[in-house]
């Protein structure tokens, strides 16, 4: 800024995981890291969001331009 | 006065002291008072943003909803993380535009983008109206902390009065510099207190986190997953989307965007800030632990669960430290909200009406509007029986109505005009006001519709109304002006 770059679509992944995935994981068993599975799934995607955004920061040329 | 209250009031005095010191260190003009110059670095912006986001809602409301609703409380983890994802693309262009045009408030941004002072007044009004339930939330939280830590010797009503007076004095003597330093203390304290409670309590009562969840599951088998109806998956997805879109629309959050050093700060923050939300897990653990240990808290009393469990478990001095951390989680965002509301009313409403007012007069008016907004919030805090989460969602439904007009203003040629933006925001906010006052939900209007539609967050409906009106009015007014121009150009031309 309205054209989406290919790398910008990475930002859609957390939405797919955290929102679209919930109907398929809405259960208690198995407990993972001591948490009900549905809660573990959300926590997993919070961490993955951070990883995805770190990767995006690394490959996006705008981050270098704006630092200067 | 017991040791818990002494510790809480000692932290309050310390906050006042840091506020006074901050003000003495700087001779502040209006812009400094509002955004602290544009000189805060990455770490401090991190603290400032985190300080605003982690409020009484996180501390008491998060555990309260885990206690009374179960799985639907997970929505908080999702919406905060996803809001940061959006910020990667949303905030840099806003920051650049604001820096270029020397803007200091959210309302200024809309005025400049749409070239419409009237739209600025509407945006300021929506911001102030949305801030009220958010402030009520902070005051109610403060009331709960002071009242519970007094072991019943201070009534909830008197405790709310103490909270309102404390926040008001804090804002009057400090401004953002006081907030920023107190925010730093608060973030360190809240981190250690929440992690300690979230780990100690499940281990103390159940021997671990999984045994705690298993005990809750055994007592109520459907509590840890989303229900089929009501606060269902449909509610979860729609609520997360409404709150994600509204996340940066709060005037105080939008305003803090302007104080970044460069546009890259926002991109870097998207890496770490989602992980910060995992702190909320510990708040949930406390709420889930409390279900079987302090049973019987109904409705809004669920918000008492963290402190009731702490009172039952710890010595008064530990309760004092927990209460002091809670006090700061209300004081920091509460002061930011009050300051933003007062500045918006003075600068973006009063000054537009009386353009010859000097900056010094506006700053004075802003400072004296602080107690006025406090008293309005106090009235609602005393009279309402909503849970802390309900109050927050009400505010979110309102500020989210600003999101479409903001989004469509970002392209070089805005997708909507000022008439469309004004009408869309007005209709969206009116829809929220109507459903809030008359307690309407999709289920009450269309009782026979499928649950997946009935459970949608009502904010989604208001957003749809907003969008339809916005594009319709833009389309009609653009064509009307084009027709008028065409008529003016062809007047006097002989027709065939």
CA–chain centroid gap for B381, Å, is 16
C-beta separation of B420 from B462 below 8 A:
no
User: What's the longest Cα–Cα distance across chain A?
Assistant: 50
Res B290: pLDDT:
93
Residue B73 has pLDDT above 80, yes or no: yes
Which of A15, A36, A57 shows the shortest C-beta gap to B224?
Answer: A36
Q: Residue A39: which of B74, B89, B241 has the nearest Cβ?
A: B74
In-domain check, residue A32: yes
Q: What angle do CA B455, B457, B461 make, to 5 degrees?
A: 110
Token readout for B371 is 């107690």
Count of A–B CB contacts within 8 Å?
117
pLDDT at residue number A59: 77
Q: How far is the C-alpha of B70 from the C-alpha of A24, rounded, in Å?
A: 19
Cβ(B412)–Cβ(B109) below 8 Å: no
CA distances from B352 to B8, B150, B275, B370, B422 (A): 42, 46, 42, 19, 17
Chain A nearest C-alpha distance from B259 (Å): 15
Taking CA–CA distances from A8, the nearest residue in chain B reads B89
Pick the more confident residue, B442 or B404.
B404
Query: How many C-beta atoms lie closer than 10 Å to residue B372's C-beta?
Result: 13
Residue B309 has pLDDT above 80, yes or no: yes
A48 touches chain B (CB under 8 A): no
Look at residues B463, B409, B466, B471 and name the one whose alpha carbon lies nearest to residue B244. B463
Q: Length of chain B, please?
A: 496
Measured CA distances, B347 to B10, B340, B393 (Å): 35, 10, 27
The number of distinct structural domains making up chain B is: 1
Domain span including residue B145:
3-385
Least confident range from B25-39, B252-266, B318-332, B399-413: namely: B25-39
Contact of A61 with chain B, judged by CB distance below 8 Å, is answered with: no
- Over residues B420-431, mean pLDDT: 92
Chain A hits for B213, CB-CB cut-off 8 Å, are 28, 31, 34-36
Whether residues B270 and A35 touch (CB distance < 8 A) is answered with no
CA atoms of B201 and B212, how far apart (whole Å): 10
Residue A34 lies in a domain: yes
Mutation target to probe the A interface, by most A beta carbons within 10 A, among B82, B211, B416 is B82
In a domain, B84, yes or no: yes
Question: Tens digit of pLDDT for each residue in A36-60?
Answer: 999 999 999 999 999 998 988 877 7
Residue B382 has a CB neighbour count (10 Å cut-off) of 16
Residue B413 resides in a domain? no
Record: contact B88-A56, CB cut-off 8 A? yes
Q: What is the rounded average pLDDT of the residues B330-338? A: 79
- Residue B33 is predicted with a pLDDT of 35
Asked if residue B75 is part of any domain, the answer here is yes
B389-408 burial, b at 16+ Cβ within 10 Å, e below that, comes to bbbbbbbbbbbbbbbbbbbb
Which member of A42, A47, A53 has the closest CB to residue B270? A53
Q: Is residue B178 less than 8 Å (CB to CB) from chain A? A: no
- Note down the domain range covering A23: 6-62
User: Alpha carbon of B5 to those of B153, B156, B217, B228, B465: distances in Å?
Assistant: 10, 14, 36, 44, 48
- The pLDDT, as a whole number, for residue B495 is 45
Query: Which pLDDT tens digit goes with each residue over B41-51?
Result: 556 555 555 55
A29 CB within 8 Å of a chain B CB:
no
Is residue B153 within 8 angstroms of chain A, CB to CB? no
Residue B208 Ramachandran class (φ > 0 left, ψ -120 to 50 alpha, else beta): left
Provide the percentage of residues in chain B whose pLDDT is more than 70.
Answer: 86
pLDDT at B410 over 90: no
Q: Over chain B, what is the mean pLDDT?
A: 80
Contact residues on chain A for B270, CB-CB shorter than 8 A: 53, 56-57
Number of alpha carbons in the 13 Å side-chain half-sphere of residue B361: 7
Instruction: Return the minimum-mean-pLDDT range out of A36-50, B16-30, B77-91, B273-287.
Output: B16-30
Query: Which of B66, B73, B74, B283 best probes binding to A when mutated, by most A CB atoms within 10 angstroms?
Result: B74
Question: Chain A neighbours among B 408-467 (CB < 8 Å)?
Answer: 410-411
Task: Please give the average per-residue pLDDT across B155-161, as a whole number.
Answer: 83
Instruction: Tell me the per-residue pLDDT of B13-46, one tens digit each, with 9 for 90 and over.
Output: 877 777 776 665 543 433 443 444 445 555 655 5
**Residue B496 falls inside a structural domain:** no
- Please compute the mean of the pLDDT values over residues B80-94 and round it to a whole number: 88
Using CA atoms, how far apart are residues B244 and B250, in angstroms rounded to an integer? Answer: 11
User: Residue B310: is it exposed, middle or buried by C-beta count within 10 angstroms (0-12/13-18/19+)?
Assistant: buried
- Cis geometry, peptide bond prior to residue A30 (ω within 30 degrees of 0): yes
B234/B225 Cα distance (integer angstroms): 13
Mean pLDDT of B158-169: 83
Residue B80 lies in a domain: yes
- Confidence (pLDDT) at B47: 56
Among candidates B86, B263, B275 on the partner chain, residue whose Cβ is nearest the Cβ of A66: B263
Whole-number pLDDT of residue B198: 93
Q: How high is the pLDDT of residue B26?
A: 47
In a domain, residue A28? The reply is yes
Mean pLDDT, residues B134-145: 82
CATH of the domain at B204: 1.20.1730.10
Q: Which two tokens stand for residue B385?
A: 């029986």
Give tens-digit pLDDT for B192-217: 788 899 999 999 899 998 999 999 98
Q: Average pLDDT of A23-29?
A: 84
A32 near B CB under 8 A: no
Q: Give the pLDDT score at B28.
A: 40
Average pLDDT for residues B125-130, to the nearest whole number?
A: 90
The total number of structural domains that make up chain A: 1
């Amino acid at each position: 800024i309205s054209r989406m770059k290919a790398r910008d679509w990475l930002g859609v992944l957390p939405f797919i995981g955290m929102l679209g995935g919930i109907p398929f994981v809405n259960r208690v068993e198995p407990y993972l890291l001591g948490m009900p599975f549905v809660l573990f799934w959300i926590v997993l995607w919070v961490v993955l969001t951070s990883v995805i955004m770190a990767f995006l920061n690394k490959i996006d040329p705008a981050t270098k331009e704006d630092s200067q | 006065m017991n040791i818990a209250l002494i510790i809480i009031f000692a932290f309050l005095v310390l906050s006042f002291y840091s506020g006074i010191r901050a003000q003495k260190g700087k001779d502040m003009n209006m812009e400094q008072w509002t955004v602290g110059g544009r000189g805060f670095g990455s770490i401090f912006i991190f603290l400032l943003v985190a300080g605003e986001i982690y409020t009484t809602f996180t501390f008491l409301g998060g555990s309260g909803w885990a206690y009374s609703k179960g799985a639907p409380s997970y929505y908080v983890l999702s919406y905060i993380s996803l809001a940061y994802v959006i910020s990667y693309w949303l905030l840099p262009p806003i920051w650049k535009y604001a820096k270029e045009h020397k803007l200091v408030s959210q309302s200024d941004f809309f005025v400049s983008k749409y070239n419409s002072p009237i739209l600025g007044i509407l945006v300021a009004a929506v911001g102030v109206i949305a801030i009220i339930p958010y402030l009520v939330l902070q005051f109610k939280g403060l009331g709960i902390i002071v009242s519970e830590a007094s072991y019943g010797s201070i009534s909830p009503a008197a405790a709310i009065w103490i909270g309102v007076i404390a926040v008001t004095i804090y804002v009057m003597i400090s401004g953002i510099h006081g907030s920023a330093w107190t925010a730093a203390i608060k973030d360190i304290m809240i981190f250690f207190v929440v992690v300690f409670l979230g780990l100690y309590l499940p281990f103390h009562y159940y021997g671990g986190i999984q045994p705690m969840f298993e005990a809750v599951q055994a007592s109520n088998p459907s509590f840890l997953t989303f229900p089929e109806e009501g606060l269902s998956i449909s509610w979860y997805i729609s609520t997360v989307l409404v709150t994600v879109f509204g996340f940066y629309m709060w005037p105080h959050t939008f305003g803090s965007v302007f104080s970044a050093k460069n546009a890259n700060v926002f991109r870097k923050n998207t890496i770490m800030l989602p992980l910060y939300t995992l702190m909320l897990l510990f708040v949930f653990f406390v709420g889930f632990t409390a279900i079987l240990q302090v049973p019987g808290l109904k409705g809004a009393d669920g918000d008492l669960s963290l402190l009731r469990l702490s009172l039952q478990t710890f010595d008064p001095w530990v309760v004092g430290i927990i209460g002091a951390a809670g006090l700061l989680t209300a004081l920091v965002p509460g002061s930011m909200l009050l300051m933003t509301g007062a500045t918006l009313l003075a600068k973006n409403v009063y000054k537009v009406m009386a353009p010859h007012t000097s900056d010094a007069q506006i700053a004075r008016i802003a400072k004296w509007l602080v107690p006025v907004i406090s008293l309005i919030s106090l009235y609602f805090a005393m009279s309402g029986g909503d849970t802390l989460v309900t109050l927050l969602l009400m505010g979110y439904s309102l500020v989210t109505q600003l999101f479409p007009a903001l989004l469509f203003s970002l392209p070089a040629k805005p997708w909507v005009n000022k008439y469309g933006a004004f009408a869309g925001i007005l209709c969206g906010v009116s829809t929220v006001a109507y459903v809030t006052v008359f307690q309407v939900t999709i289920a009450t209007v269309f009782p026979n519709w499928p649950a997946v539609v009935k459970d949608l967050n009502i904010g989604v409906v208001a957003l749809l109304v907003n969008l339809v009106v916005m594009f319709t009015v833009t389309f009609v007014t653009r064509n009307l002006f084009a027709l008028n121009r065409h008529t003016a150009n062809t007047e006097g031309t002989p027709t065939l």
